Amino acid sequence: MNNKRLLVVGELNVDLILNDIRGFPKIGNETLAGEMEFTLGSSAAIMASNISAMGTDTTFCGKIGHDKFGEFLKQELQKRKVSTRYISTSDTLKTGITVVMNYEQDCANLTFCGAMEALNIKDIPWEDLKEYDHFHFSNYFLQKGIQKDITEIFKRMKEAGLTTSLDLQVDPDDKWEFDYKNTLPFVDIFLPNYSELLSLCKKNDLTAAIAHIRDYANVLVIKMGEQGARLITGEQEYRQGALLNKDFKDAVGAGDSFNAGFIHKYLNAASWENCLKYANLMGSLNTTRAGGTAAFTSAEEIRKKADEIKKRVL
């Protein structure tokens, strides 16, 4: 096991997850859901929680409100051995929440951002960077306080000697205003999914999007759902098929668990091929339980469950 230390910076919110929804919601009507989960949410926190369960020493930096939701999030991260010493609390803003409405292998999300929008460059523990080896940032478009400084943040992380990774996530405004030309040279591993990459590059097919962005991305890892994943670095390319398990529950956090698996193996100096294989396996494991973290308890349990999935894939 490696002794690399990870600093995750990003959004924090609770997830209210609805499954077995009987139709699509309509104004003026009431729609029923057969199942509900209330759990730790947000791309960054799910990634941090699950990579910590895999065995990576992880610290989280984010912002919450002074409320019950905020207390819940800190307690959930601490239960998963994630250090919360850099989570700050706003006295005026509420903790964020996302309502997740699942429909088979896709979902519709409704998010109240709250305190996460107030996180900014000054909240990052710059004086303590010597304690860390890798920096991961997630969900750029929901964090208004970070956006104008994103290039500077990654530049300073690299200058401090950290390796870096980035997952943009979806832009709810569908503008995709991210300065990738100046930021991605400071990002060691860029982790978009298929549709996010097309939107960012304003292209209609994946080949064109890859050609458009590959000169700026050091290592481009594309999450492709049921089609697996691809990795492009320089002239090298690797492809890995998805592991579609028979015990699918929902896909909430599957991409974040993919990120966790990839970075965990990367910090263990695994090959690109093995990083992809493990990332896909962790994404598949995620889908066996509702929410983004329930399938990840301890490194030993993760190994057992991963072996079971390999035997039960479709």
pLDDT of 226-285, one tens digit each?
889 999 999 999 999 877 777 787 778 889 999 999 999 999 999 999 999 999 999 988
No. of helices (H) and no. of strands (E), the chain: 10, 13
Structural domain boundaries, residue 107: 5-312
- The reply to whether the predicted model has a pTM over 0.85 is yes
φ/ψ of 257, rounded to 5, equals -70, -35
How far apart are the C-alpha atoms of 192 and 200, rounded to whole Å?
9
pLDDT of 11-69, one tens digit each?
999 999 998 999 888 899 999 999 999 999 999 999 999 999 999 999 999 999 999 99
The answer to whether the beta carbons of residues 213 and 220 sit under 8 Å apart is yes
Amino acid of residue 25: P
Identify the sign of the CA torsion 214, 217, 219, 224. Answer: negative
10 Å CB burial of residue 297 (0-12, 13-18, 19+) is: middle
Would you state the pLDDT for residue 182? 98
Count CA atoms within 13 Å of residue 164 on its CB side.
27
Q: What is the count of structural domains for the chain?
A: 1
The answer to whether the beta carbons of residues 53 and 296 sit under 8 Å apart is yes
Query: Would you say how long the chain is, in residues?
Result: 314
pLDDT at 314 over 60: no
How far apart are the C-alpha atoms of 19 and 62, rounded to whole Å?
28
Q: Percent of the chain at pLDDT above 90?
A: 78
Count CA atoms within 13 Å of residue 162 on its CB side.
25
Would you state the pLDDT for residue 109? 87
pLDDT of 98-108, one tens digit each?
998 988 767 88
Q: Where are the beta strands (DSSP E) in 11-126?
A: 13-21, 33-41, 57-65, 83-90, 96-103, 106-112
DSSP-derived secondary structure letter, 218: S
Would you state the pLDDT for residue 84? 98
User: Residue 260 sits in a domain of what CATH number?
Assistant: 3.40.1190.20
